Structure 1
Amino acid sequence: MTDPAPHRAEIVVDLAAIRHNVRVLKDLVSVDRPVRLMTVVKADGYGHGMAEAAAAARAGGADWLGVATIDEALALRGAGDRGPLLCWLSAPGDDFAGAVAADVEVTAYSVAELDEIAAVGGARVQLKVDTGLSRGGAPRDAWAALFAAAVAHEAAGRVRVTGIWSHFAASDEPAHPANDQQEAAFREALALAGQAGLDPEVAHLANSAAALLRPSSHFDLVRCGIASYGLDPAPGASPRVGLRPAMSVRARLVMSKAIAAGDGVSYGHTWHAPEDTTVGVVPAGYGEGVPRAAGNTAAVWVDDSLRPIRGRVCMDQFVVDLHGELPPPGTEVVLFGPGDRGEPTAQDWAEATGTISYEIVTRLGGRLVRRYVDSDATEGTPR
């Protein structure tokens, strides 16, 4: 596979890695019985490109796709996706009619939201119950009313209730007591729904971490977001199952030069050279989503060596310590990648900047070119 030098700075996404991860996850959760897999492609596919990630996930065996908003769902339909698709975050006045026309399943958190969806007619609706995250979803004292309203709308032919679901708060911490509490609450909600007369096609609770760590929570369907892109949803707790990071971020040095001991680097001179050294300028900054917090904490890969970022990350560029070397302009810089060569990973950047890998990959964009490669094929496609 040819791998051309990046144009200034770019994101490279390996579609084969996404296909591989989806296959691995589907096999993992279906060891004892068939469990369907939803690949979550919200937020532009966690920075990997929504339509491209969705197509790769479908090719890898994803039964469902999941997005946050109706706009995202309609964009996927516009890109040609026709499989089962759920969205779950709406506001009053959203385009439920457009979702119904595009065969998108929508989520109701409340009776008022369900009534608005039912007014359109013909909707496939899933009900979300809050089992302890205290975010979206019907609170426990509203479950009975939501289920009764759903039964009434279903009997009138206004909706079809296809699913009931919830979301973990702490599945990346296997010993956290909230996990047992939430799973018990979810089972209680399913029992109450059945008593009310609902018979949904799917019940789902597990996200990426629970897919790897909590088989009892798999139910009919698991929703895998970050794991589909090859990143660990529970660092330090997840088993090694062979996931492959799909994203690399690369740039080229625009210059390198010598600086003297005591010289300050970048805005505010938050780093001074303790001895004579050399530095390089990398043409990407927080305008591209590079975390400003990476200054003096993260490192990049240049000439087969880790090179620490020195000084503050600027809007368009940052500076790295080259330890006395003067590689020429155009030399490749890898901000992060799969780690196969020793380069930093998205998880390394997350730890260096005090965040999670989800944020690292999702926030990147701006002037970065996104290019797609297929490590099972021969060509890449820029976007």
Structure 2
Amino acid sequence: MNETAKRARAAIDLAAVRSNVRALRDRAPGAELMAVVKSDGYGHGAVRCGRAAREAGARWLGTALPEEAFALREAGDSGRLMCWLWTPGGPWGRAIEQDIDVSASGMWALREVVEAARRCGRRARVHLKADTGLGRNGCPPADWAELTAAARAAEAEGALTVAGVWSHFACADEPGHPSIAAQLTEFHRALAVAEAAGLRPEVRHIANTPALLTLPEAHFDLVRSGIGLYGVSPSPEVGVPEDFGLRPVMTLEASLASVKRVPGGHGVSYGHHYTTPGETTLALVPLGYADGIPRHASGTGPVLVAGKRRTVAGRIAMDQFVVDLGGDEAAVGETAVLFGPGDRGEPSAEDWARAAGTIGYEIVTRIGKRVPRVYVDSEVPAQAGGRGEGDAALTGGVA
């Protein structure tokens, strides 16, 4: 463990990634699985998590930005890979040359793809995105016939192959929301228009993690799992990870930087929003909002210290926060666990999300680069005289 990791670390369990992929594939046995590794694998590490997902049977990887896809290629990934968030003048040609599937939501994007393909002398693989009701990216219904007809003409020319037709749900994390059925109806309509234009896409896909878990009628040929890959539930309404055989991948912990006795009436952290009710022990956790710990969780964020769940005392600062241990003791250097799978009674990322008034996605994704990722793998056999069965073996150390 390097010096930085002695302060704080995010342990990433690659065995949990593989287990989650297997559990997700079991939920959608008739579809291929795309493991979404955008935003550096939701803060977990795109390369290492993507590799583990491939090992467990994820045929596709997905990113938002082309630069994220290029990084995977540079790291040696050679499988099916899609990126979908493009702006005018983007690196279409580089993506085509690196065998990366791209997305087009309008005529401007289709024109740029075709021009890039002509320059490269290679067919682009394009997924046409329909806006079925999310209102973000995606071609609106009024323009869909034009886009699909133009894509078919470009396909006939040899500039591209329409590899997919796709969309994205707005409210799949709210089971029973009326928009879900409405979007499925609109997606079927979009598919019919594409078929009438002569398109025969390899994959049709609309299901994100919550739809994968709860809407088998939305699985089609490919399902895209982001947050589920990392063992975090898309929403409390959908269920908890254990309901679907998922295990949280990230454990965030730090070494206590200070432990001291203080008298009652002692102010704690900026603004003295917390004052000790009596003589007590304060422990200092060297993580703060510069590391991605949400300041909105000041006074409410949960943390496991000295075998018990505690609550952040006072404001979370840029680099540190305080926990009041009451009558308990702890030692400098002892581990504080902010969140993890719960094996030691520690909080979950969802617990922090509730404390901060946000979602679990944001909690894991916002953990910053000052916190090294330490990759562990409980499926790696222990070495003789080394770790015992069931313990996590290091696989590549700190990143």
Q: Tell me which interval the TM-score lies in, with the shorter structure as reference length.
A: over 0.9
Alignment of 1:315-330 (within 5 A): 315-330=318-333
Equivalent positions of 1:328-339 (< 5 A) are: 328-339=331-342
After superposition, the CA RMSD in angstroms is 1.4
Which secondary structure does the structure 1 equivalent of 2:244 belong to? coil
State which drifts further: 205-214 or 235-244: 235-244
1:9 and 2:8 aligned: yes
Letter matched to residue 293 of structure 1: H
Is residue 161 of structure 1 aligned with residue 177 of structure 2? no
Paired residues of 1:285 and 1:316 also in contact (CA < 8 A)? yes
Shift of 1:325: 2.4
1:5, 1:332 within 8 Å by CA — same for their partners in 2? no
Change over 3 Å in CA distance of 1:171–1:290 after alignment to 2: same
The question of whether the paired residues in 2 share the 8 Å contact of 1:209 and 1:238 is answered with: no
Residues 257, 326 of structure 1: 8 Å contact kept: no
* CA–CA distance in structure 2, aligned partners of residues 310 and 116 of structure 1: 54
Deviation readout 1:123-174 (Å, 9 max, x if unpaired): 1100000000000000111101111110111111111100000000000111
Give the corresponding residue for 1:88.
84
Query: Within the alignment, does 1:350 sit opposite 2:353 as a pair?
Result: yes
1:284 aligned residue: 287
Determine the C-alpha separation between the residues in 2 that align with 1:172 and 1:260: 47
Q: Cα distance, 1:234 vs. partner? A: 2.7
1:239-278 correspondence to structure 2 within 5 Å: 240-278=243-281
Cα distance, 1:5 vs structure 2: 11
Alignment of 1:295 onto 2:305: no
- TM-score normalised by the chain length of structure 2: 0.93
Give the partner amino acid of 1:244. Answer: R
Write out per-residue CA displacement over residues 23-53 of structure 1, whole angstroms, 9 at most, x where no aligned residue.
11011111xxx21000000000000001001
Counterpart amino acid of 1:99? A
CA–CA distance in structure 1, aligned partners of residues 5 and 371 of structure 2: 10
Whole-Å separation in 2 of the counterparts to 1:129 and 1:226: 22
Q: Give, in angstroms, the shift of residue 276 of structure 1.
A: 2.1
Q: What is the distance in 2 between the residues matched to 1:263 and 1:223?
A: 51
Aligned residue for 1:227?
228
SS at match of 2:158: coil
Aligned 8 A contact 2:174 2:237 in 1: no
Does the alignment pair 1:63 with 2:55? Answer: no
Alignment partners' CA distance in 2, 1:327 and 1:274: 19
Residue 6 of structure 2 aligns to a residue whose secondary structure is coil
Who is 1:20 aligned against?
19
The answer for the alignment partner of 1:193 in structure 2 is 194
Q: Which amino acid aligns with 2:179?
A: A
CA distance in 2, matches of 1:185, 1:72: 30
Q: Distance in 1 between matches of 2:343 and 2:147?
A: 50
Number of residues of Structure 1 aligned to a counterpart in Structure 2: 378
- For residue 6 of structure 1, report the CA deviation from its aligned partner: 5.0
Secondary structure (helix, strand or coil) at the match of 1:348 reads helix
Distance in structure 1 (CA, Å) of the matches to 2:79 and 2:335: 40
Secondary structure at 1:7 match in 2 = helix
The secondary structure found in structure 1 opposite 2:350 is helix
- 3-state SS of the aligned residue for 2:35? strand
Aligned with 1:350: secondary structure? helix
Match of 1:112 among 88, 108, 120: 108
In 1, the alpha carbon distance for the partners of 2:147 and 2:343 equals 50
SS at match of 1:249: strand
Q: Are residue 312 (structure 1) and residue 311 (structure 2) matched?
A: no
> Quick one: percent identity of the two aligned structures?
51
C-alpha distance in 2, partners of 1:178/1:275?
Answer: 53
- Residue of structure 1 equivalent to 2:389: none
CA contact (8 A) 1:6 1:252 kept: no
Alignment of 1:68-217 (within 5 A): 68-121=64-117, 122-217=123-218
TM-score (norm 1): 0.96
Unaligned runs of 5+ in 2: 118-122, 383-392
Contact 2:175 2:237 in 1 (8 A): no
User: 2: CA distance between counterparts of 1:146 and 1:100?
Assistant: 20
